[in-house]
Amino acid sequence: MSASCFGGPDHVALLSSLYRTAFVTGASAGLGRAIVELLLAEGVRVWGTARDAARLTSLEVNSNFSAVVLDLDNPEEAESAFANAATAAGGFDLVVNNAGYGVFAPFTGVDFSIWQKQFDAMIGTKARLSHTALRGMLAKKRGCLVNVASLATDFPLPFMSGYNVAKAGLSALSESLIFETRGTGVVVIDFRPGDFRTGFNNTMQAKAVSGSDDARLASAWRGLEKNLNDAPPPKYIAAGLRKALLRQRSGTVRCGSFFQAHLAPFLIRFAPSGLRRAITARYFGAV
Ligand SMILES: NC(=O)c1ccc[n+]([C@@H]2O[C@H](COP(=O)([O-])OP(=O)(O)OC[C@H]3O[C@@H](n4cnc5c(N)ncnc54)[C@H](OP(=O)(O)O)[C@@H]3O)[C@@H](O)[C@H]2O)c1
């Protein structure tokens, strides 16, 4: 199934009628924070993560929220943090594998260790969390795993090769898991947001290379900045995810503006790859 996140009937059911407990990575900011706020508002008991627990204190005023320290750069510790929270929660009905960051640089412009770190965190650790979360859900024959990928799976972003690989890899993992969990009672969602106005670009690594005199690099960065600044706020993604969660169906869900999440993915099916690349380059002014 491929679905959109906006449109369709508005559901009146509360998420807590389907999901008693949830684990959300990257709860301190942006999309993850908006998702946590929505879940809490609908009565779900939430365990949310950040690398620094101090970034979660404002959420802890809600007694339904528990802070968890989790760093994607430490896979074993991240898995233990998840397992400890799952024990405290009595298992999770919903896991949103959301935390992440980008690296903006020409592939050869930075040391390979930067890309390696991005692959390890954004595929390795996120796959590991999917693995442990899914085991718990399959044992109970219920639950929902949401892997937050990106429309970068459909439309790779300029000078973000490691990020593009990570997001396409995560979508491929989700697709495999959708197949494997068929008929088990467990739902897997490959969630692909378009642009949403968060601090994502502020925490982008290696963006300093945009200070170079490479005109294509500078232009691509300006394009990414403009897209994010003009994008809708994160509360819309929470609303989009809510609709997908209430559907209780595995599949790919694209979420964003009508152009990014609906029109462009539809039209691109008919365009030869050369044309697709030319349009992307023009879109970012990096011809
Ligand atoms: N914004 C968009 O337009 C957009 C579009 C498509 C997909 N996405 C995806 O959505 C997810 C959230 O992005 P966002 O826009 O909300 O970004 P954001 O505002 O920068 O928030 C990122 C969140 O991830 C956490 N995080 C970052 N690096 C981490 C690491 N190494 N280990 C553990 N946690 C880490 C941060 O927590 P701390 O820094 O507090 O530890 C923060 O809570 C990402 O996976 C991103 O790729 C975003």
Task: With cut-offs at 50, 70 and 90, classify the pLDDT of residue 285.
Answer: confident
- Please state the atom number of ligand 1 nearest to the C-alpha of residue 151: 6
Cα(28) to centroid(ligand 1), Å: 9
Cα(200) to centroid(ligand 1), Å: 6
Q: Residue 2 corresponds to which tokens in the numbers above?
A: 């491929």
Position 1 scores a pLDDT of: 41
Q: In the structure, which protein residues have their CB atom closer than 6 angstroms to any atom of ligand 1?
A: 26-32, 50-52, 55, 70-73, 98-101, 121, 148, 150, 193, 195-196, 198-200, 203, 228
Position 208 scores a pLDDT of: 60
Residue of the CA atom closest to atom 8 of ligand 1: 150
What predicted TM-score, i.e. pTM, was given to this entire model? 0.95
Position 6 scores a pLDDT of: 58
Cα(90) to centroid(ligand 1), Å: 27
Cα(202) to centroid(ligand 1), Å: 11
Position 2 scores a pLDDT of: 47
Of 172, 196, 165, the C-alpha closest to 261 is 196
Cα(219) to centroid(ligand 1), Å: 23
Mean pLDDT of the chain: 93
- Please state the atom number of ligand 1 nearest to the C-alpha of residue 149: 7
Whether domain 2-283 has CATH 1.10.760.10: the reply is no
Domain positions in the chain: 2-283
101 catalytic residue (yes or no): no
**pLDDT one-digit tens code per residue, 258-282:** 888 989 889 888 889 898 888 888 8
- Please state the atom number of ligand 1 nearest to the C-alpha of residue 31: 16
Mean pLDDT value across residues 248-254: 97
Catalytic hit among 19, 163, 236, 283: 163
Cα(31) to centroid(ligand 1), Å: 7
**pLDDT one-digit tens code per residue, 181-191:** 999 999 999 99
Q: Residue 171 corresponds to which tokens in the numbers above?
A: 């979508």
Residue of the CA atom closest to atom 38 of ligand 1: 50
Residue of the CA atom closest to atom 1 of ligand 1: 196
**pLDDT one-digit tens code per residue, 135-174:** 999 999 999 999 999 999 999 999 999 999 999 999 999 9
Position 251 scores a pLDDT of: 98
Of 168, 21, 25, 171, the C-alpha closest to 96 is 25
Mutation pick for ligand 1 pocket among 56, 98, 103 (CB with most ligand atoms within 8 Å): 98
Mean pLDDT value across residues 45-60: 98
